[in-house]
Amino acid sequence: MAEGYIHSTESMGTVDGPGIRFVVFTQGCPLRCQYCHNPDTWKLKEGKKVTTESLMKKIKKIKPYIERSGGGITISGGEPTMQLDFTLDLLKKAKAEGLHTAVDTSGFVESAKFKKLLPYLDLVLLDIKTMDDLVHRDLTGVSNQKTLNLVELLEKEKQPYWVRQVIVPGITDDLEKMKEFAKYLQRKKYLEKIELLPYHELGKHKWENLGLEYKLAAVEPPSEKKMAELNAVFKNYKINIA
């Protein structure tokens, strides 16, 4: 039995992997992304303590719906690798039930640790916040080196993955940098697709409630035109775009 801290669960998730998904949002994150819409997941011990058994009970109840949709379970966060044993145990249990499994991670984890999850994972949703390390440090508080190391691990281990990036006007929407990013991803064999997600301000009130300064207060979501322009970069490089 494994115990861990979670923020919440969602039984009919449709944006964190294929089909309908039971999503577990784990508590605790070592990053401090300026656009984080769940800053209430940051502190590990502020979550709800649960067992993997109790989560599996909930999952089994909706298993037929999940399976009919081609879905599965996704462990998201927060950062699921912060509670590695808990995440590992939940993945093992889900796999034993024959479910499709995914984790959504920032990649801020030692590759050797992440490798333990791979035998029980069908898909990795990897958030590469930006390829520019200086911008990454400013945007998230940490370097992107571990994330890029993880890309190499996923390639080496032939692990299918999707890459996701939030497009923040003035920070991650530079066309030339996006071309560099596409060039980098073009050579990846196990990358199934990339999803560019427009920045939104939905988490802003949570920052205010927590008494935190929301540095992106003046930033507007990107226009549809800008998103189309950036998406086109990946199409040009023949990378599957969501």
| Member of 14, 32, 54, 68 binding ligand SF4 (CB under 6 A) | 32
Paired tokens of 9 = 């669960």
For 48, the 3-state DSSP assignment is strand
Residue 79 near ligand SF4 by CB under 6 A: yes
Paired tokens of 48 = 């709800």
| Member of 24, 29, 125, 131 binding ligand SF4 (CB under 6 A) | 29
Q: Specify whether the CB–CB gap between 31 and 141 falls below 8 A.
A: yes
Residue 36 near ligand SF4 by CB under 6 A: yes
User: Which window, 24-32, 115-123, 222-230, 234-242, contacts ligand SF4 (CB under 6 A)?
Assistant: 24-32
- Can you name the residues that pair with 100 across neighbouring β-strands? 72
Residue 77 near ligand SF4 by CB under 6 A: yes
Residue 6 near ligand SF4 by CB under 6 A: no
User: Which window, 9-17, 25-33, 91-99, 157-165, contacts ligand SF4 (CB under 6 A)?
Assistant: 25-33
Residue 66 near ligand SF4 by CB under 6 A: no
> With respect to ligand SF4, which residue has the nearer C-beta, 41 or 231?
41
> With respect to ligand SF4, which residue has the nearer C-beta, 71 or 80?
80
Residue 172 near ligand SF4 by CB under 6 A: no
CA–CA distance, 75 with 151 (Å, rounded to integer):
19
Q: Specify whether the CB–CB gap between 5 and 45 falls below 8 A.
A: yes
Residue 240: CB atoms within 10 Å: 12
| Member of 78, 80, 107, 222 binding ligand SF4 (CB under 6 A) | 78
Q: Specify whether the CB–CB gap between 67 and 20 falls below 8 A.
A: no
Distances (CA, A) of 93 to 51, 56, 60, 98: 12, 7, 11, 9
Q: Residue written as tokens 């502020």?
A: 46
From residue 89 to residue 128, what is the string marking binding to ligand SF4 with x (rule CB under 6 A)?
-----------------x----------------------
Paired tokens of 53 = 């058994």
Positive or negative CA dihedral for 13, 34, 208, 6?
positive
Distances (CA, A) of 103 to 71, 152, 236: 13, 17, 28
User: Which window, 71-79, 94-102, 181-189, 192-200, contacts ligand SF4 (CB under 6 A)?
Assistant: 71-79
User: Which window, 11-19, 72-80, 183-191, 211-219, contacts ligand SF4 (CB under 6 A)?
Assistant: 72-80
User: Which window, 50-58, 77-85, 176-184, 204-212, contacts ligand SF4 (CB under 6 A)?
Assistant: 77-85
For 42, the 3-state DSSP assignment is coil
Binding site for ligand SF4 (CB under 6 A): 29, 31-33, 36, 38, 41, 77-79, 106
